[in-house]
Amino acid sequence: MMRLLQRLFGRLPIGWLQLTHNRMRFAAALTGVAFANVLVFVQLGIMNSMATATLRPYEFFRADIMISADDANALNEGENVARQWLLQAMADPEVTDGIGLFVTNLPWNRGEQDISLTTFGIDPARPGFLNPEIAAQAGLLEVGDSALIDRLARGIPREEAASIRPQTPLSFETKSRTLTLYGTFAGGGGFGGDGYMIVSDQTFLALFPDRRSTAPDHILLALRPGADVQAAVTRLKRLVSDPSLRIRSYADAAQEELAYQQTRRPTGVIFGFGVLIGVLVGLVIVYQVLSTDVADHLREYATFKAMGYGPRFFMGIVLEEAMTLGVLGFIPGMIVGSTILKVMATVTTLPLQVTASMAVVVFLGTVVFSTLSGMIATRRLAAADPADLF
């Protein structure tokens, strides 16, 4: 290791030698950096899972444009929209088709555990608005009180979900009706429910008699292939009579909900602060280790100054230490953070994991913030006055 660093820096790796000289302190410093990494990984993992969970229901559908009420910040939030806007939108030459999308949460009393399923009501005769897995089973929804269930939903054993097929359906009672599950699709537990279910719009209206077919939660529109989505959005804003409606591309609607969940909902803000606190903890730990190290070696640094070593040399040593702590602290931090997320994912069924991009971001962040801490710590070097050695 030392030879490698010596070749890398073109000088003795003093930072490395200094850090490793006191093994206990080095281990404690690495533990501190790793701890900060674990904090960041776990918080980022949760934030990332929130993003995945937020975007997941959007993957169930295929649409180019979504029309929602002005207060519909999320798929399952906000007022209904009038079906008449769908008819108005259809007047646009680029709009080829449209459906109303109904959504609300439905309880399922499973004896030992009540689960809540975010339930979408769609027109099964329009499979083009569904992702291929769901579209392939859309015909099953034509039967009244039939449903497709999320096989990854929290609270439903995997083997039980796997056994749900048209030949071996599973029925349960809810809202004074008996729903029969004929098929499954891949969803997963989220922050707003334990999983998802898809029913026909007719079944949805039967389950929720206070809802009207003329007032879905959202309107999904499909455009002619190759059409300019943003141009169509602009035209529709003029075409549809109600100016308060949110008319957005489907992709924008997903991203806007993600931003809403991450920055305006308490959960998102809390996890965001968690990341910030992890970064600050790491910054403080590295700074503390480095500034103590500088203070402990002031006489040696002053001696080097007297010998003719310049500011870049000292900056190099401190940054070498910062990088060493950052890189070596990252590895155990990622291993422990990843393990914690795996355990949490098993318990919560949330999509919690360390992704490659997350690992790269945390690694780069660790290096950057360690370097920043090192640069702050170098200020203490000014106290190493070689004239004081005499």
Partner 1 sequence: MQQEPIVDVRGLNHWFGVDTARRQALYDISLTLERGSFTILMGPSGSGKTTLLTLIGCLRAVQDGSVRLLSQELNGAGEAQLVAMRRRLGFIFQAHNLHESLTAAQNVMMGAQVHTGVPDALAEKASVHLLRLVGLAERADYLPANLSGGQKQRVAVARALVGQPALLLADEPTAALDKESAAEVVDLLIRIGKARGMTVLLVTHDNRILDRADRILTLEDGRIVRDDRRAPA
Q: Which residues bind partner 1 (CB under 8 A)?
A: 6, 10-12, 14, 17-18, 20-21, 297, 299-300, 302-310, 386-387, 389-390
* Closer residue to partner 1, CB minimum distance, 16 or 129: 16
Phi, psi of 296 (to 5 degrees): -70, -20
Q: How far is the CB of 286 from partner 1 (least distance, A)?
A: 19
Helices (H), 73-209: 84-89, 132-135, 158-162, 201-207
Q: How far is the CB of 2 from partner 1 (least distance, A)?
A: 10
Q: How far is the CB of 370 from partner 1 (least distance, A)?
A: 20
* Closer residue to partner 1, CB minimum distance, 90 or 389: 389
* Closer residue to partner 1, CB minimum distance, 115 or 306: 306
Secondary structure of residue 107 in the 3-state scheme? strand
185, 134 Cβ separation under 8 angstroms: yes
* Closer residue to partner 1, CB minimum distance, 26 or 271: 26
CA distances (Å), origin 357, targets 77, 259, 261, 286: 30, 19, 21, 24
Q: How far is the CB of 24 from partner 1 (least distance, A)?
A: 14
Long-range contacts of range 132-137, CB-CB < 8 Å, 24 or more positions apart? 133/185, 133/186, 134/60, 134/185, 134/198, 137/182, 137/183, 137/185
- How far apart, in whole angstroms, are the C-alpha atoms of residue 207 and residue 184? 20
Q: How far is the CB of 319 from partner 1 (least distance, A)?
A: 17
* Closer residue to partner 1, CB minimum distance, 186 or 306: 306
Phi, psi of 68 (to 5 degrees): -135, 170
Q: How far is the CB of 14 from partner 1 (least distance, A)?
A: 7
Phi, psi of 180 (to 5 degrees): -120, 125
* Closer residue to partner 1, CB minimum distance, 11 or 175: 11
* Closer residue to partner 1, CB minimum distance, 217 or 293: 293
Partners of 108 in the β-ladder:
115
Q: How far is the CB of 367 from partner 1 (least distance, A)?
A: 23
Q: How many residues make up the chain in this entry?
A: 390
